[in-house]
Amino acid sequence: MYDFIIIGAGVLGTFHAYHAAKAGKRVLLLEKDRYPVGATVRNFGQVVPSGLAGRWFEYGRRSLEIYRAIQQETDITIRENGTIYIASDADEWLLATELHDRYQGIGYPSELLTKAQCLAKYPSLQPDYVLGGIFFPQEMSVEPEQMIHRLIAYVQQTYAVDYRPGSAVVDVQSKADGAVVTLSNRQRFEAGQVLICSGHEVRLLFPEVLASAGLVVSKLQMLLAAPVAGLNLPGNILTGLSIRRYEAFQECPSYEQVAASAPADRAELKKWGIHILFKQATDGGIIVGDSHEYAPATEAEDLGYHTQDFINDLMLAEARRIVTFPLTIQKTWAGFYSQTPAEIFEHRIDDSIRIITGIGGKGMSSSAGYAEATIKNWLGQ
């Protein structure tokens, strides 16, 4: 008998397992695949609370502290090397200065950088692209394909979380003092609380609930460029289109004015949800992306699992407008995550069974802090 069974070992599920186990609860963490293969490992690996708004910013800010504390105990690939947003025109620079002012008021460290300072810090930027930048020194990078494995190993070793990969759950039923979880091999486990963190999967468990949840699946295309000798790109590099897209900038006083005067030559990029980010992996490879296509979660197949060359070409053309180093593409892939207009889908089946999914693109940046608040709330702390 467990106190908690968490279904889904992506970053959202694993951080719930971490906080529950840290609170002294006996936790079983189940993953249907041999290891996590969903949104948690198919992203940039950027921890960027600066782009979040409302409570998600606060969860992200707390997530930085949690990541930092874990990294001090074991290497989960955290690199505290900051985030920069590069403004390419006066409108983007205006939003950057307004965001800086707001964060100054709440004590979240940021620095406004001149064009010369940006080019000194990142000499591989195209000078014609750069007007200025806003830098967040406390933000972090992780290696997404490594981090989750190390985090799972840490919660196993440090907090005795019982982790069982290759465990596909086919049924969850309530009982008098909790719930029973049944696997595809007919194994059964019991717990006082069951939490389902199912990513963009909406058909296996409680499909009638998830079908009516308004969940949307976002498909993202990303690229990996080959290492370039001597190139050093510290931190997370976001660009003008990121400034025009991210929620934090949408809270700035001038955002509506800026949005209404978007450059006409950006229309095709906007149509495909493209904004350009760069992150250099520890092996020197450069992740570039991304794009966004959408479909109702119940019709996710319509997005396809292939990547579309013309979208990759659009991203590469914009990326080459921003940086001077060669982009020799080694690999492309599509990532998928679910999201909802309500920011996240939280649903109580009954007193023992809950569903949390649809965190969207906020997972790596805010799951640690969000899961802590959720577990504390459940435990009445």
Start-to-end Cα distance in the chain? 23
Interval 357-372: pLDDT, tens: 999 899 999 999 999 9
pLDDT band, residue 73 (cuts 50/70/90): very high
Residue partners of 211: CB distance under 8 A and separation at least 6 = 202, 298
Give the separation between CA 228 and CA 327, rounded to whole angstroms.
9
Question: What was the pLDDT predicted at 189?
Answer: 98
Are 141 and 235 within 8 A, CB to CB?
yes
Burial 144-175 (b: 16+ CB within 10 A, else e): bbbbbbbbbebbeeebebbbeeebebeebeee
Are 277 and 236 within 8 A, CB to CB?
yes
Are 49 and 63 within 8 A, CB to CB?
yes
Residue with more model confidence, 112 or 266: 112
Domains and CATH numbers, the chain: 1-79+141-213+343-381 (3.50.50.60), 83-137+216-339 (3.30.9.10)
Question: Given the DSSP bridges, would you call strands 27-30 and 46-47 parallel, antiparallel or unpaired?
Answer: unpaired
Give the separation between CA 276 and CA 4, rounded to whole angstroms.
39
Q: pLDDT at residue 239 above 90?
A: yes
Average pLDDT over residues 242-250: 96
Average pLDDT over residues 92-107: 97
Question: What was the pLDDT predicted at 43?
Answer: 86
Half-sphere exposure (Cβ direction) of 82: Cα atoms closer than 13 Å: 15
Question: What was the pLDDT predicted at 211?
Answer: 83
Give the separation between CA 303 and CA 335, rounded to whole angstroms.
11
pTM of structure:
0.95
333 DSSP β-pair partners: 222
In the chain, % of residues over pLDDT 70: 100
pLDDT band, residue 229 (cuts 50/70/90): very high
For 176, counting Cβ atoms within 10 Å of its Cβ (0-12 exposed, 13-18 middle, 19+ buried), the class is exposed
| Of 156, 196, 207, 180, residue with least CA distance to 7 | 196
Average pLDDT over residues 191-205: 89
Q: pLDDT at residue 342 above 90?
A: no
Question: What was the pLDDT predicted at 207?
Answer: 87
Half-sphere exposure (Cβ direction) of 270: Cα atoms closer than 13 Å: 13
Interval 269-297: pLDDT, tens: 999 999 999 999 999 999 998 999 999 98
